[in-house]
Amino acid sequence: MASGSRSFFAPQETRLDLPQGSSSQTPDITRPASPSESDRTPFLNGDAGSRSRDDVRLGAKALKHDGDGGVSIGSLAPIFSYCGASIMMTVVNKFTVSGAGFNMNLLVLLIQSTVGVACVLAAERIGWIQLRGLNAKDAKTWAPISTLLVFVIYTGSKAIQHLNIPVYTIFKNLTIILIAYGEVLWFGGRVTKLILSSFLLMVVSSIVAAWSDVSQAAAISDLSMPHTPDSISGGLTTDPKTGLAVHAWDVLKQEKEAITAQISSGSDNDVFEGLRGMGLLSSGYVWMFCNCIVSAAYVLAMRKRIKVTGFKDWDSMYYNNLLSIPVLLLMSFLVEDWSSANIATNFPDDKRTNLITAIIFSGACAVFISYTTAWCIRATSSTTYSMVGALNKLPLAVSGMVFFKDPPVTLGSTSAIGLGFLAGLVYAFGKNKQAEAAKAATTTAATGLGSDDRSHANSAKGVIPMHTLNSSDRKD
């Protein structure tokens, strides 16, 4: 449904070193497409042909080394396309589920999944991509992952419905922490000091964001309406000279209207009713907590299943969306109110066309994000892509302030966004350093040479090894 095979609401910036042919459910992919993928999927290639070279020693086509992460002028197009698609998807989803009293999130996800499947099948029919045919064995293996993704997307949509975009984006970082320590427990992963520092920054930014949000709600809940004198109640008063009723001028009218607008925003109810246990399902923070837990479980479970199926990126997206359709349909009929009155409330006549268009557009955006993700990695490197993902959090958070005026620009909100942005940068840098260290260790183990030995070997290129000649002479 979004990046790779996930929705916008699914885990973000989760770095998993998945095997060849893995899904791009976790956008921070650490590998470029394999040569076979490049040969048979021109839809994803872009200028992949110009970036490859023939290696006569290997008798195969070798891709440009991933470590060559320099950003050229030609790389700006995929980078900006990925950032624009991510921000566009965020804003469209927020617009879709933010209507007054909107409660048909599952129906929205059902439409998005259907549109995603239709777009992928259309791309296959045109010949842009190739998909693995649907079969019962793969469907049975992948069904638990697809079902888990439904809960990830649903809890995410409920969270963003009740939280503003910056707070949602900041709290989404906490999923990375859960995934990292899940990898430590089940996959022998390791958390370096630099990555741990980024985790601390993520926690601090989340606390600052929540404190700013709750403080604003507290200020609204403490507002009291100025008293209107009984003599001008109803906007009328009595003229002492004539005794007739005349219109009164209320000097507090503007202040009352401003307070009414703040109270009617509902932000205080979203926060405090949930914290008091009243209207628990209306609390964005409760949904956000559930989303982080389910997202981490989804990513860790997918890592195991991806090895069994050997899915490519588009295969996993196709199966995820297709298998989620019956689950979403069943859950929507069981959980949501399909009465004509409720549908009219969720899709008012004056907004119905715009809402349905936005939902269909968001489903197509998911496919576009999949394409721009692969394009960005292929045109630059996984290192550049991870840094772009970290940098993208800033405009993503700011988009909420620009398009929805929520939250207002305060010291607390800007500080939280800045800390979350810094945490993303530190995390991306730490993961790249960890990947470089692992690659160096693998190379050393394979060659038996340390960095000093390799430098000496490289400097000695072109020099005839005399000890070999001497040994040959002795044999003769």
CA distance 161 to 346: 13
CA distance 222 to 227: 15
- For the entire predicted model, the pTM comes to 0.61
Whether 13 is covered by a domain: the verdict is no
Q: Tokens 């990513």 map to which residue?
A: 299
CA distance 172 to 14: 10
For the residues of 330-342, what is the DSSP string, one character each? HHHHHHS---HHH
What pLDDT, on the 0 to 100 scale, is given for residue 299?
82
Whether 416 is covered by a domain: the verdict is yes
What pLDDT, on the 0 to 100 scale, is given for residue 14?
42
Cα–Cα nearest to 284, from 205, 201, 213, 336: 213
Q: Tokens 């370096």 map to which residue?
A: 192
Q: How far is residue 288 from each of residues 6, 9, 10, 49, 83, measured CA to CA in Å? A: 17, 10, 11, 43, 23
CA distance 194 to 191: 8
Cα–Cα nearest to 209, from 262, 148, 255, 166: 166
Half-sphere exposure for 245 (CA within 13 Å, toward CB): 6
Q: Amino acid letter at 66?
A: D
φ/ψ (deg, to 5) at 246: -130, 160
CA distance 54 to 77: 26
Whether 167 is covered by a domain: the verdict is yes
What pLDDT, on the 0 to 100 scale, is given for residue 94?
78
Whether 265 is covered by a domain: the verdict is no
Number of CB atoms found within 10 A of residue 110's CB: 22
CA distance 275 to 414: 24
| H or E element at residue 60 | strand 60-62
Whether 355 is covered by a domain: the verdict is yes
Whether 245 is covered by a domain: the verdict is no
What pLDDT, on the 0 to 100 scale, is given for residue 121?
92
pLDDT digits (tens, 9 = 90+) for 1-14: 444 444 444 444 44
CA distance 136 to 124: 20
CA angle 95, 99, 100 (to 5 degrees): 155
CA distance 384 to 90: 22
CB 322, CB 142: distance < 8 Å: no
What pLDDT, on the 0 to 100 scale, is given for residue 122?
92
Q: Establish whether the linkage from the previous residue to 166 is cis, with ω within 30° of 0.
A: no
Whether 29 is covered by a domain: the verdict is no
What pLDDT, on the 0 to 100 scale, is given for residue 21?
42
Q: Can you give the pLDDT of all 476 residues of the chain as single tens digits?
A: 444 444 444 444 444 444 444 443 433 433 333 334 444 444 444 343 444 433 333 333 333 444 444 456 767 788 888 788 888 887 887 788 776 678 888 898 899 899 999 999 998 999 888 888 888 888 888 888 888 888 988 888 888 887 877 788 778 878 888 888 888 888 777 888 888 888 888 888 878 877 766 666 656 555 555 555 555 555 566 666 676 666 555 545 565 566 566 555 544 444 444 444 334 445 778 888 899 999 888 888 887 787 777 777 688 788 888 999 999 999 899 888 899 888 888 888 888 888 899 889 988 887 887 777 767 767 766 556 656 766 666 777 677 666 666 666 777 778 877 887 888 888 888 878 887 888 888 887 777 655 555 555 554 454 445 444 444 444 44
CB 380, CB 74: distance < 8 Å: no
What pLDDT, on the 0 to 100 scale, is given for residue 29?
35
Domains contained in the chain, number: 1
What pLDDT, on the 0 to 100 scale, is given for residue 325?
93
Dihedral of the alpha carbons of 63, 65, 68, 71, in degrees to the nearest 10: 20
Whether 242 is covered by a domain: the verdict is no
What pLDDT, on the 0 to 100 scale, is given for residue 238?
65
Domain that holds residue 364: 35-225+274-458
DSSP state of 236: E
Q: Which residues contact 440 (CB under 8 A, 6 or more apart)?
A: 451
CA distance 50 to 63: 10
